[in-house]
Amino acid sequence: MTEHRITVAGVAVDTRHWIGGERIASAGTFTDVSPIDGSALGDIARGGPGEAAAAVAAAKAAFPDWAASSRAERARILHAIADGVEKRIEELAIVETTDNGALLRSHRRGVMPRVAHNFRFFADWLLTLDHEDFETRGHTNHVSWDPAGPCVLITPWNAPLMLATWKVAPALAAGNTVVLKPAEWSPLTASLLADIAAEAGLPAGVLNVVQGYGSEIGDALTSHPDVRRISFTGSVPTARRIAESAAANLTPLSLELGGKSPLLVFADADLDLAVDLAVEQYDNAGQVCLAATRFLVEESVAEEFTRRFVGRATALNQGDPRDEATDIGPNIHSRQLEKIDGFVQRALAAGARAVIGGHRGDGQYYAPTLLTDVRQDSEIVQEEVFGPVLTLQTFADEDEAIRLANDTRFGLAATVATGSRERAERITSQLVAGTVWVNCFFVRDLQAPFGGSRLSGVGREGGTWSFDFYCDLKNTVTAPNGWKNHG
């Protein structure tokens, strides 16, 4: 290791901020730790109000030229960034696995290719973004999407680079400049993204990356009067603080927050398919906001569903995420592990039964858990755990299934397993959720709206919805007459 640079699995990563096209150190640092074995990966620049102000100033200075650039030029550079990501997929995958503990095979085959796709999709969508002109009493209405200004993007630790670029790509495509603040538990691939963007020709100051704790740098970013958009993915309590911080400047917010999503299994469902969907909920050690953590199973098939699920779940291989044979890796941090175990132990003390799991493993691993005999109003059913912990309840009919499914403060997603198209249509029309999957899970198209209802979020992004958020929409109305003829 040299000053300001660490080596992670053979990959060099700069630990400083990226502000205005330069690497900037801070007086203080924080230690980044791998959840795989608890080893220290390195000391990361710990930003505060000074770094926040510098990053926003750089974004503000770079905004006029970037906003004035053509759609074709912005699209070209975004495609060049995607090219850079694709050239470094293996490096990005191993660094992120080491940093956040998610499966290496998933990063290689799905997550990092999706990072590149995020840039390509929004680059291409930008070139087709249009609204047909329309007339009002002979006057022509023309809708345009104008760049809004500097954007602050605050991203989570469970899929750091993929979720960061889900925000960065449309913000840049829209003609905005960006200050990206990655989660302090998984900051490394954001630093590599800064390198890739610079190599692709993105002008200095258009993308800035600052690291640190939310309480020290996050508040300074979200309260800054020159910030014109804030997008955040994370917890409800943090979102409330961000909203309060942004309120003084009326800065528009996009918030993608927690979930307590249901998986509804009806008696007419293909049970093997339903079990496949259920086992998928342990993906990323349960650290997925969209996970259907509440199984709601029709009484007549609950025993058979449970039997098959237990057989599949207990066969999962938990271990080192760098091993191709591993199905479940570690949880991100010792504090998160304490939180997960606290939820489970309180549920067990209140009368829940652990069909499988219900305890810690070694290190930062938590045993895949399924709890039954849980009350609808209990903490374990109502609050997001964000770990490999699922609950199972039964229902007698459709009305009870819908009531149980909707009876939380959240509304991010829902999954339905049924063999009846008519039932699927009845059920999905009544579910409170931003996304509903029927006989499938985690099928996502970037042109679809994404977001949550209730405490699961504010707003929608994806396709044109992303540009609606990251732009100032303008309607220009032109009279049919009044032009002077200059010949």
Distance from chain centroid for Cα 439: 23
Backbone angles phi, psi at 8, to 5 degrees: -120, 115
Rounded alpha-carbon distances, angstroms, from residue 41 to 33, 35, 99, 461: 5, 10, 8, 34
Rounded alpha-carbon distances, angstroms, from residue 345 to 173, 373, 375: 47, 14, 15
Other beta carbons within 10 Å of 229: 24
Q: Which residues pair with 68 in a beta bridge?
A: none
Q: Which residues pair with 19 in a beta bridge?
A: 22
Q: How far apart are the first and last CA of the chain?
A: 71
Angle in degrees, CA 371, 376, 382, rounded to 5 = 80
Residues taking part in catalysis = 256, 289
Residues 6+ apart with CB under 8 A from 160: 96, 99, 100, 182, 183, 186, 187, 188, 189, 190
Residue 136, SS3 per DSSP = strand
Rounded alpha-carbon distances, angstroms, from residue 409 to 268, 285, 406: 29, 23, 8
Kindly state the DSSP code that residue 103 receives in the 8-state scheme.
-
Q: Which two tokens stand for residue 75?
A: 């699209």
Q: Which two tokens stand for residue 103?
A: 């499966």
